[in-house]
Amino acid sequence: MQTFFLSLILLCLTIPLQSRTLPFHQSHFTKRSFHQNDRNVASPQEYFEVTKPLPFDGAHATCTLPILTHNFSNTYGLPPFSVPYFPPLNCIWTHVTLEIQASCQGEQHDRIAALWLGGAELIRTSTAEPTADGIFWTVRKDVTRYSSLLSQNNLTLSVMLENIVNEVFTGVYQVNVTFLYYDANAKNVKPLLALPSENYWPSSRKLKSVYNPLEPLVDSEKGSFDLLYEKPADLIIPISEVGDEGYWFRIQNESDIHSRGVRIPQNTYRAVVEIYVSFHGDDEFWYSNPPDSYLKVANDDEAQHVNPSDSYANMNKVTMGRGHGAYREVLVMIDGNLVGSVVPFPVIFTGGINPLFWEPVVSIGAFDLPSYDAELTPYLGLLLDGKVHSFSLRVADGISFWLVDANLHLWLDAGSEEVLAGIAFSSPEFSLERELKFAGLDGKFQIEAERETKICGWVSSTAGNFTTSVSQKLKFKNSIKFYNNGTRKLVKQKVKDKIEVRIESGTGHRILHTKTKRTYPLKITTETLPGGNNTYSMIARVKNSVKEKKTVGGAKSTLQNSQKSSGWMSVKDHEVLSGGASTEQNYSYEDGLECYSRVVEAENGTLLKDAARILCATSS
Ligand SMILES: *[C@@H]1O[C@H](CO)[C@@H](O)[C@H](O)[C@H]1NC(C)=O
Ligand SMILES: *[C@@H]1O[C@H](CO)[C@@H](O)[C@H](O)[C@H]1NC(C)=O
Ligand SMILES: *[C@@H]1O[C@H](CO)[C@@H](O)[C@H](O)[C@H]1NC(C)=O
Ligand SMILES: *[C@@H]1O[C@H](CO)[C@@H](O)[C@H](O)[C@H]1NC(C)=O
Ligand SMILES: *[C@@H]1O[C@H](CO)[C@@H](O)[C@H](O)[C@H]1NC(C)=O
Ligand SMILES: *[C@@H]1O[C@H](CO)[C@@H](O)[C@H](O)[C@H]1NC(C)=O
Ligand SMILES: *[C@@H]1O[C@H](CO)[C@@H](O)[C@H](O)[C@H]1NC(C)=O
Ligand SMILES: *[C@@H]1O[C@H](CO)[C@@H](O)[C@H](O)[C@H]1NC(C)=O
Ligand SMILES: *[C@@H]1O[C@H](CO)[C@@H](O)[C@H](O)[C@H]1NC(C)=O
């Protein structure tokens, strides 16, 4: 991800360097020269991220609200672009889809972007790198869970997309934002797939009905999955920045903690914190960062040799800050106590590793970065005292820089002004081991971390006294190897996260049991060879996947999304001169009722295959 800060470094780099033997570090590039010289496509090309259709895709929207149209040209250092939001008048809706259309032509870096409503983030996205002939894309997201905001008048809707346009980087990002409102109860509306939103919670069989912990809602006998529409929170409180530089916190290092004081309504019976995160600068490829001690050796080795304007050496020099090992974890704290954590999915932006991999299919999550939920209901015992509590975000082991914020989703008891709550017990455990072995520029670095948390608390509302237990087990494994004097690099990472939520009544009757298991395996190999004429070439292979299994009562869903890319490129000064690349992706989603699968293959920027199937559609 290119940001202005970094591009300044790139453009102004004059430190002389040698190119004898250098460790390779993951980096990002633009395709300028490559497309200028080698491409001749006439019309703009459509880019996309492979995902499943949204529940209301293809259905008739009861209302459509085009809310924002803007050209993001020289927006660096400016506040986000904002417009006032009013929900459409006289519109009956139960569900909302956010649609972002974007286009760009010319030369430009990939950029990070986000959209906030009333300071609460609705989507984190990034741009695709354009070509001389132009590209365009559409991102759609189910934003129903933000209904309590979407139904309010006169909130500020803001989009941040910092871009720089000059003689070299000419691409202006043109963006349209539209909200589409759907009424699930209207006669002619049938959701395409009964797909859950990112975080789902049982509601009753009818979409409009309200979560009531008194009724056991999951129909485990039939294992039916028509229960997945989560009732949106009644109140969303942003844990975000107020400044003119976007609503995200810019986290520069591991001790850079950002906090907001929040007073929780005393009739809150459920709380979830949703975390948005992206990583940039020296931490864009955090999962491939070696320890500082290795970087120091590599730096000293280079310092002995001088060769001005060597692009291969410069590439490495720029990445010399990319250290601090490869373990990162975003932590959420209340009054200084850890209440939630996430090792984020390694989203690779479209300029990352080899930009030719990501056209026209972008990497997993690039257009719709995942957000992460932590169930905070057991902590309500600490929060319902009517006092202001400090919610903080930090990045363990992080280096510059991370963009992080959060939304606090709260469900309120309509029948009472005050509910009672207490924490029953909590048992956090954490271990981290690092192993490092290196001689010269060859070496092997391994990290294993494990976090296990169990927390249990009761909430007594008008619905009754229920105990919520949350257990989370996170396993993190990372290994980085350098061979051939550091010119060959192998990165392997696996993140496993298992979260269980149980809700029981006072009599021990189990009301609800949800299980979510996610794994993110990642493998990257890169090999660099110095070329003539101040160029170098790189051969790379990337495999990145998400596997997710969810169980709500007796109903199950599975998602598998994996992407494999390989190719080479010849590079000068972070510009791709020539190259070839192919990417294949398999996506499949399945629950008791519906299945969706898609297989995509692209080579050298052309789509060779794109086959989608709804295997077991419509049974009810
Ligand atoms: C954005 O730029 C394009 C091309 O110059 C122009 O046609 C369009 O009107 C501009 N849109 C806005 C909202 O300024
Ligand atoms: C944005 O909307 C305008 C007006 O409908 C349209 O002309 C333009 O092509 C759209 N831009 C993008 C990037 O889709
Ligand atoms: C919306 O809010 C702004 C600033 O808070 C205020 O100036 C404006 O009058 C409001 N508009 C309406 C229609 O309420
Ligand atoms: C961490 O970042 C903050 C904010 O930029 C800065 O004030 C602080 O000095 C940094 N601390 C370290 C140890 O670098
Ligand atoms: C690695 O570097 C050493 C000296 O720096 C050199 O002798 C050796 O040939 C290099 N090996 C490879 C595989 O490039
Ligand atoms: C709710 O249930 C818990 C555990 O069963 C109990 O410790 C607590 O006192 C109860 N609270 C109320 C207000 O009844
Ligand atoms: C080196 O680059 C220059 C200009 O970039 C070009 O004119 C020349 O032909 C190149 N030489 C070789 C050997 O590729
Ligand atoms: C996709 O599935 C095919 C057939 O099972 C397999 O050969 C291929 O390796 C898979 N690709 C990815 C990226 O997982
Ligand atoms: C893609 O480009 C590479 C390298 O230039 C070439 O070897 C390969 O044949 C190309 N593939 C297709 C399908 O054009």
Q: What is the pTM (predicted TM-score) of this model?
A: 0.90
Ligand 7 pocket: which of 37, 309, 533, 572 to mutate (most atoms <8 Å of CB)? 533
Mean pLDDT to the nearest integer, 423-452: 94
DSSP 248-314: SEEE-STT--EEEEEE--TTEEEEEEEEEEEE-GGGTTGGGPPPHHHHHHHHHHHHT---TT-HHHH
AA letter at 138? T
pLDDT computed for residue 25 by the predictor? 62
Most confident segment among 221-225, 227-231, 528-532: 528-532
Q: How confident is the model at residue 203 (pLDDT cuts 50, 70, 90)?
A: very low
Query: Rounded distance, CA 578 to CA 323, Å?
Result: 29
Q: How far is the CA of 232 from the centre of ligand 8 (A)?
A: 36
What is the percentage of the chain residues whose pLDDT exceeds 90?
71
Query: Rounded distance, CA 24 to CA 527, Å?
Result: 8
Q: How far is the CA of 405 from the centre of ligand 4 (A)?
A: 18
Lookup: tokens for 169 = 């980087």
Q: Which of 98, 76, 94, 248 minimizes the C-alpha distance to 184?
A: 94
Lookup: tokens for 501 = 């939520």
Q: Which atom of ligand 2 is nearest to the CA of 138?
A: 14
- Is the pLDDT at 26 greater than 90? The verdict is no
Q: Which residue has the higher pLDDT, 37 or 156?
A: 156
Q: Three-state DSSP class for 35?
A: helix
Binding site membership of 469 for ligand 6 (Cβ less than 6 Å): no
Which one of the ligands is nearest to 102 CA? 2
Q: Which residue has the higher pLDDT, 617 or 7?
A: 617
pLDDT computed for residue 57 by the predictor? 86
Binding site membership of 562 for ligand 1 (Cβ less than 6 Å): no
Q: Which atom of ligand 8 is nearest to the CA of 564?
A: 13
Q: Where are the beta strands (DSSP E) in 111-161?
A: 112-117, 120-126, 135-142, 155-161
Binding site membership of 152 for ligand 1 (Cβ less than 6 Å): no
Which one of the ligands is nearest to 177 CA? 2
Q: Where are the beta strands (DSSP E) in 384-463?
A: 388-396, 402-412, 420-439, 442-461
Residue-wise pLDDT tens digits, 311-335: 555 555 445 789 999 999 999 999 9
- Is the pLDDT at 211 greater than 50? The verdict is no
CB 583 within 8 A of CB 541: no
Q: How confident is the model at residue 446 (pLDDT cuts 50, 70, 90)?
A: very high
Nearest alpha carbon, ligand 5 atom 13: 484
Residue-wise pLDDT tens digits, 56-114: 888 889 999 999 999 999 999 999 999 999 999 999 999 999 999 999 999 999 999 99
Mean pLDDT of the chain: 86
Q: DSSP secondary-structure letter at 168? A: S
Q: How far is the CA of 175 from the centre of ligand 2 (A)?
A: 8
What are the residues whose beta carbons fall under 8 Å from the beta carbon of 469, sequence distance 6 or more?
378, 454, 455, 456, 500, 501, 502, 503, 504
Nearest alpha carbon, ligand 9 atom 8: 580
Q: Which atom of ligand 4 is nearest to the CA of 400?
A: 2
Nearest alpha carbon, ligand 3 atom 13: 154
Q: How confident is the model at residue 616 (pLDDT cuts 50, 70, 90)?
A: low
Phi and psi dihedrals of 104, rounded to 5? Answer: -160, 145
Nearest alpha carbon, ligand 8 atom 4: 586
Q: How far is the CA of 85 from the centre of ligand 3 (A)?
A: 10
Vertex 21 angle, CA 18 and 26, to 5°: 95
Residue-wise pLDDT tens digits, 41-52: 579 999 999 999
Mean pLDDT to the nearest integer, 165-184: 95
Task: Specify whether domain 53-192 bears CATH 2.60.120.1570.
Answer: yes
Binding site membership of 85 for ligand 3 (Cβ less than 6 Å): no
Helix axes 292-303, 311-318, angle to 10 degrees: 150
Q: What are the Cα distances from residue 3, in Å, to 76, 81, 279, 326, 511?
A: 9, 18, 11, 21, 48
Q: Which residue has the higher pLDDT, 592 or 344?
A: 344
Q: Which atom of ligand 3 is nearest to the CA of 153?
A: 14
Nearest alpha carbon, ligand 7 atom 14: 533
Which one of the ligands is nearest to 394 CA? 4
Mean pLDDT to the nearest integer, 139-160: 97
Q: Which atom of ligand 2 is nearest to the CA of 174?
A: 13
What is the rounded end-to-end Cα distance, in angstroms, of the chain? 45
Q: Three-state DSSP class for 315?
A: helix
Q: Which atom of ligand 4 is nearest to the CA of 252?
A: 2
Q: How confident is the model at residue 340 (pLDDT cuts 50, 70, 90)?
A: very high
Q: Which of 470, 468, 455, 474 minimizes the C-alpha distance to 500?
A: 470
Which one of the ligands is nearest to 302 CA? 5
Ligand 4 pocket: which of 241, 254, 256 to mutate (most atoms <8 Å of CB)? 256
Q: Which atom of ligand 7 is nearest to the CA of 533?
A: 1
Nearest alpha carbon, ligand 1 atom 2: 71
- Is the pLDDT at 39 greater than 80? The verdict is no
Ligand 6 pocket: which of 420, 460, 469 to mutate (most atoms <8 Å of CB)? 460
pLDDT computed for residue 315 by the predictor? 52
Binding site membership of 458 for ligand 6 (Cβ less than 6 Å): yes
Ligand 1 pocket: which of 68, 71, 177 to mutate (most atoms <8 Å of CB)? 71
pLDDT computed for residue 33 by the predictor? 59
Q: Which residue has the higher pLDDT, 542 or 206?
A: 542
CB 398 within 8 A of CB 323: no
Mean pLDDT to the nearest integer, 450-473: 95
Ligand 5 pocket: which of 19, 21, 483 to mutate (most atoms <8 Å of CB)? 21
**Domain limits, CATH 2.60.120.1570, in the chain:** 53-192
